[in-house]
Chains A and B, each alone.
Chain A
Amino acid sequence: MNVRLDKKDLARYPFLKEAQGFVLSMDIPLDSLIRADTAAGQRIIHTGTDRLIRALSFGKGGGETDLDTPDDEILGYAMARLIVSCLGDRSMMDRLARYEAGRAVWFLETEEDDIRRYIAESLGLDPDADDMEVVRYIELASGLRDDRWRLINRDVRKGRVSVRTEELDALIHERIRGVIRGQLPLQVPGGICLKLREHIDRVSAVFQQQMLEEFGDIDESAFPPCMQALIAAITAGTNIPHTGRFALTAFLHTIGMETTRIVEVYTRAPDFDVSKTLYQVEHISGRGGTEYTPPGCATLRTYGLCVNRNADCETVQHPLTYYKRRKKREQGKKDN
């Protein structure tokens, strides 16, 4: 297909190889821009930092783009990827990828047909297909939350899954997210990261603050029923399986409970063993290098841990979302 992409198109879809070609073919390469303290360099660094901060705050993207300075937009994208790579935090990379995908799809919704088609195809998706291979479908849809995307709720036959035209944008979103996330972290020379230090610190501070605001003080009454059930089971002296302990520990850790308090929860278990419990809790909380996030509702269901579902459960796909919402609501009640 012959499609001419102009600068503004590349600013809308900076993950396209054409946009990366633009970055590579600049008169002054990006790393020189960063190293030399020029006004232009500083401007791009700021654009990139702001972009990453928007991503971390779950900004919606598209509307905040200034298409009058397409060069800055394209370079800002490249800069945001550099900064997040220096930071090395997986959840930040996840959020940036999600932000970029959302931003691109926001533009795609009103995009001219030939460009839409070109972008779908350049991402390896056939814009005209009414079905796709099961394994390709799973790769795209397994990250989508709504029940209607679960393979079991789809029309599946002979290795193919039916997909309706209006579902294409959601799948393109997932594809872009996957492509961008898969490229991160970039290999960034240490000198560049050092040069970006103050901007990296700014991003880090925003992220910290946001995490604190999201969770804040621990409020047991806002725990989802599955987590309450696990705590109740431990309190009653029931021996719960490893999957249950894992889910509860990861949940408690993520909402900000300290290790010692988590261990306290387990003191009531029949096979309680301080050193073993401490080891397990520390392991799940990331002492061993990997910080585990608590499983979502789908996993909890798979493990038979999704119990006592209530009306609020129907509206969430993750126990953390349940907790955040419930807590906000409780907080609202108290404030009134």
Chain B
Amino acid sequence: MNHATLEFLRQRFSEYYRKGTLMTPPSLEQREWGFIFFDISSDVRMRRHMAFQTPDEAITYMRSMVPAHVYYSTAYYALPGAATMNDKIWSGADLIFDLDADHLMRGPYDTMLLRVKEETVKLLEMLIEELGFSEKEIYIAFSGGRGYHVHIRRSDIREWGSQERRELVDYVCGIGIDPSIMMKRPFTQAGWGRRYRRALATYLKGFRQLDREEAISHLRSLEGMGSRSKRPETLYDGLDDLIEALESGRRITLNDKILRILTGPGNSGFTTILHEQAARADEPVTTDIKRLIRLPSSLHGGSGLRVTPMAFGELHEFDPLSEAVVFGETDVRVDLAFPFSMPMLGTSYTLKKGENTVPEALAVFLCCRGIADLSEGGMSRRA
């Protein structure tokens, strides 16, 4: 990124921080803050261990310093400004789930955003329908990058350590399942029993697409099946019965050893299907009780998009590529490092390598992503 680009971004961000609606987290005086500033060097430095007493102080700081990234602690501390973590005196933390498309797929940005939204919807369903959290205590934000953050604030779980939080994140992610317990679970109600049996049925149905010999040889190749055993034949011949039992919720007579072979971690055919049933949140974020998270209402310096808080009911309709866009449509000339296309504010853009004239909002995005630099005199038309 060159100086002109950096200056352009800082000016745009400055305008947003002056005029935009900024929010601060509850219990602000107990939070630690961290900032990353626009800097020409590639060495990213965070100024952290900062604390503010009032929302005004925090907002004034952001307006005058114009940070590229703004974070606050999910944790509550007696002395959030202390220089070392031990001296801060931890007193609790919000419960966080982080969904990031990077963990789910590769592909065009807008496709990734759609995919991660589906994952967020799955997570919210589990949190509410199964785990019993209420809409009122759940706060959702588009991260400004490739995903969503879900914050849960509830006083009775605030002091939980990593161990307790892990129970929740393992639950939503489908980690640590005991297959034989799943086989005994009632199938009729929502939950892992049903998801697990459904995943196994889907996996087994795949074998019906193959002819007998092919299916048996595939089954035989599974780790632990044994090259001489008759198990694959027996399993194949009983496939219809088994699938029917899995889907109807009847008792399963599958022997434990075969069940473990089919569902073992080495069998990616099955684990992939199972993972689709889970809400794949980034586990370490939930179990980390001293994490910094992006401030909703701040800008993401890697995209120029707004970290956008939304009400529970708004997620379904939320389109980050228009609702998280805060900049305008003034023309700006940018120089692209490679051809690039994406939609923004309802228009699809197909840009060639080299010079292009694009709306300011897209220019900010491209420059933040490091895909483009401002062309010489790129902002001249603004004058």
- Contact A155 B185, CB 8 Å, known A138-B168, A288-B86: yes
Q: List residues of A (143-162) whose CB comes within 8 Å of B's CBs.
A: 143, 147-148, 150-153, 155-160
A299 to B176, CA, bound (A): 10
A134 touches B131 (CB 8 A): yes
B-side contacts of A141, CB under 8 Å: 167
B131 touches A159 (CB 8 A): yes
B-side interface mostly: helix
Q: Is B192 an interface residue (CB 8 A)?
A: yes
Q: Is B104 an interface residue (CB 8 A)?
A: no
A152 touches B164 (CB 8 A): no
* Nearest chain B residue, comparing its CB with the CB of A149: B167
- Contact A142 B192, CB 8 Å, known A133-B132, A160-B132, A290-B86: no
A157 touches B178 (CB 8 A): no
A133 to B133, CA, bound (A): 11
Q: Is A289 an interface residue (CB 8 A)?
A: yes
Q: Is A243 an interface residue (CB 8 A)?
A: yes
Q: Is A301 an interface residue (CB 8 A)?
A: yes
A148 to B171, CA, bound (A): 13
> Smallest CB–CB gap between A28 and chain B, Å?
38
- Annotate A156-170 by CB proximity to B: 1 below 8 A, 0 otherwise: 111110000000000
> Smallest CB–CB gap between B186 and chain A, Å?
7
Q: Is B29 an interface residue (CB 8 A)?
A: no
Q: Is B249 an interface residue (CB 8 A)?
A: no
Interface residues on B, range: 35 or more
A155 touches B167 (CB 8 A): no
Q: Is A135 an interface residue (CB 8 A)?
A: yes
Q: Is B169 an interface residue (CB 8 A)?
A: yes
A-side contacts of B132, CB under 8 Å: 133-135, 158-160
A-side contacts of B167, CB under 8 Å: 138, 141-142, 150-152
Q: Is B359 an interface residue (CB 8 A)?
A: no
B283 touches A303 (CB 8 A): yes
A298 touches B86 (CB 8 A): no
- Contact A299 B193, CB 8 Å, known A148-B178, A155-B186, A159-B132: no
B-side contacts of A133, CB under 8 Å: 132
Question: Can you offer 14 A-B residue contacts whose CB atoms are under 8 A?
Answer: A138-B167, A142-B164, A142-B166, A151-B167, A152-B171, A152-B174, A155-B186, A155-B191, A156-B171, A159-B130, A299-B166, A301-B176, A302-B170, A309-B265
Q: Which residues of B contact A (CB under 8 A)?
A: 84, 86, 129-133, 156-157, 160, 162-164, 166-171, 174-178, 181-182, 185-186, 189-193, 265, 283-284, 287
Which 8 pairs from chain A and chain B are nearest by CB?
A: A159-B132, A151-B167, A153-B181, A138-B167, A152-B171, A151-B171, A147-B178, A302-B283
Given contacts A147-B181, A158-B130, A243-B284, 8 further A-B contacts (CB under 8 A): A135-B157, A139-B160, A147-B176, A147-B178, A155-B191, A159-B130, A301-B175, A302-B170
